[in-house]
Amino acid sequence: MSLLTPVLSAHWDEKDSFTIEGYKRNGGYQAAAKALAMDPDALIQLVKDSGLRGRGGAGFPTGMKWGFIPQGDNKDHYLVVNADESEPGTCKDMPLLMANPHVLVEGVIIAAYAIRAKNAFIYIRGEVTHVVRRLNQAIADAYKAGYLGKNVFGTGNDIDLVLHIGAGAYICGEETALLDSLEGFRGQPRLRPPFPAIAGLYARPTVVNNVESISAVPAIVTNGAEWYQSMGTEKSKGATLYSLSGHVNNPGQFEAPLGITLRQILELAGGIRNGHKLKFWTPGGSSTPLFTDEHLDVPLDYEGVSAAGSMLGTKALQIFDETTCVVRAVLRWTEFYKHESCGKCTPCREGTWWLVQILRDLEEGKGSEADLQKLLDLCDNIMGRSFCALGDGATSPITSSIKYFRDEYIAHVKGRGCPFDASKSTLFAEAK
């Protein structure tokens, strides 16, 4: 299994991996102790040097984000961890937090110290009560151990960490909507500028990072930037969690260096479910344009996926085999976006409303070929016209599926309905 590089997931198979004892047994909290003895600017430089990029989807260099926080401004700084994982298909942060919550807590301590924040927040989606409980326990244990609170590690630094539970809106994963929600307002994206680094939470300089980005920091502190750089590709350094789901024999989390291909991961996962073949897949959740079996060898790093016409996103590899109706899958996703559109801007709010109706008609065989053109044109009027990326994401499955599976749409029109047996794409055993 040399392809895998388990760091975050190295000890998930130990039955007490989520406890503070289990975490410390494997060297936990030594990175924080080391970091707190360092100069904060050196820490920022270390993270810059490591090449770590945001794991929430956009891939913005983490160290650079930290460096944007104006220092010596006599203002409170805040660190906010985005744990509002709600993208369809994305399932990396929640397993990580279940199995290894302390790595995030330790990362928070280091990051807060680096950006001179005395207060850090984790914004987690409200539906995952089991994860909330586990994370709360981890935070409480860290307080008890003196790693959080006043005078952490006896260094004279104060770092408080608050776990905030969202109410289950997808838009709150957008960083400025998250900040609004955290402040107690309705979650809707804010106008930028000002960017969070200048005026974020409570209008103070704020870093918003994904769970996985912050969790990667302790290992970087322990092993150094060079170690991290040694993994991955030229511009996409390090290792990351690939979440494989859908029609595969062994779905799950695969922690591997950036640049691995789906073909390699599928081999590790025992392949597509027996007797079937790959039809399409998402490289990073439903907001990233679909790939097909043409793309099995695309290197799954930021540049490779982008060059192939999609986005690495959250590395949520959802696998669909030939039993799946792409129109139906895209309709379900679009219904999700319609349901989750916050309503702030016209293209996303109104666009998703109409996209669903047109797709539903197509799926039910009531559409026409002209509807495809209408869909594409509506997507063109939404993509890049909406306030935040939610609207852009809503168009990705539609435009990419029409690009690769136009014939299948036409078949729905010509056949006056869906040519697929929907039950075949389920994971239940087939009736003999």
> What does the binding site for another protein look like in residue numbers (CB under 8 A)?
169, 171, 186, 191, 338-347, 349-354, 357-358, 361, 374, 377-378, 380-382, 384-387
Query: Which residues, 6+ apart, have CB-to-CB distance to 22 below 8 Å?
Result: 11, 14, 16
- As a whole number of angstroms, the distance between CA 352 and CA 361 comes to 14
Centre a 10 Å sphere on the Cβ of residue 36 and count the other Cβ atoms it contains: 22
CB of 126 to another protein, least distance (A): 15
> Are 284 and 311 spatial neighbours (Cβ–Cβ below 8 Å)?
yes
- As a whole number of angstroms, the distance between CA 310 and CA 107 comes to 30
Instruction: Check residue 431 and report its DSSP letter.
Output: P
CB of 425 to another protein, least distance (A): 27
- DSSP assignment of 189-235: PPPSSSPHHHH-GGGS-EEEEEHHHHHHHHHHHHHHHHHHHTSB-SS
- DSSP assignment of 257-270: ETT--HHHHHHHTT
- As a whole number of angstroms, the distance between CA 425 and CA 116 comes to 51
Sheet holding 119-124, edge to edge: 149-152, 157-165, 119-124, 78-83, 206-210
The residue among 267 and 377 lying less far from another protein, judged by its C-beta, is 377
Query: Which residues, 6+ apart, have CB-to-CB distance to 392 below 8 Å?
Result: 287, 382, 383, 384, 386
Token digits for 67?
A: 């460096």
120 HSE (CA, 13 A, CB side): 32
The residue among 36 and 382 lying less far from another protein, judged by its C-beta, is 382
**DSSP β-bridge partners for residue 211:** none
One-letter amino acid for residue 334 of the chain? T
The residue among 148 and 169 lying less far from another protein, judged by its C-beta, is 169
The residue among 189 and 232 lying less far from another protein, judged by its C-beta, is 189
The residue among 220 and 348 lying less far from another protein, judged by its C-beta, is 348
The residue among 368 and 426 lying less far from another protein, judged by its C-beta, is 368
The residue among 384 and 417 lying less far from another protein, judged by its C-beta, is 384
Token digits for 426?
A: 């389920």
The residue among 140 and 167 lying less far from another protein, judged by its C-beta, is 167
The residue among 90 and 386 lying less far from another protein, judged by its C-beta, is 386
- CA-wise closest residue to 115 among 186, 28, 21, 207: 207
CB of 309 to another protein, least distance (A): 16
CB of 403 to another protein, least distance (A): 20
- As a whole number of angstroms, the distance between CA 88 and CA 85 comes to 9
CB of 145 to another protein, least distance (A): 41
CB of 377 to another protein, least distance (A): 8
CB of 356 to another protein, least distance (A): 9
Length of the chain: 432
Centre a 10 Å sphere on the Cβ of residue 155 and count the other Cβ atoms it contains: 14
The residue among 191 and 431 lying less far from another protein, judged by its C-beta, is 191
What is the three-class DSSP state of 69?
A: coil
- As a whole number of angstroms, the distance between CA 355 and CA 400 comes to 14
Q: Which residue has the tokens 């081999």?
A: 267
Q: Which residue has the tokens 């998703």?
A: 352
CB of 294 to another protein, least distance (A): 26
The residue among 164 and 360 lying less far from another protein, judged by its C-beta, is 360
CB of 354 to another protein, least distance (A): 5
CB of 371 to another protein, least distance (A): 9
CB of 334 to another protein, least distance (A): 12
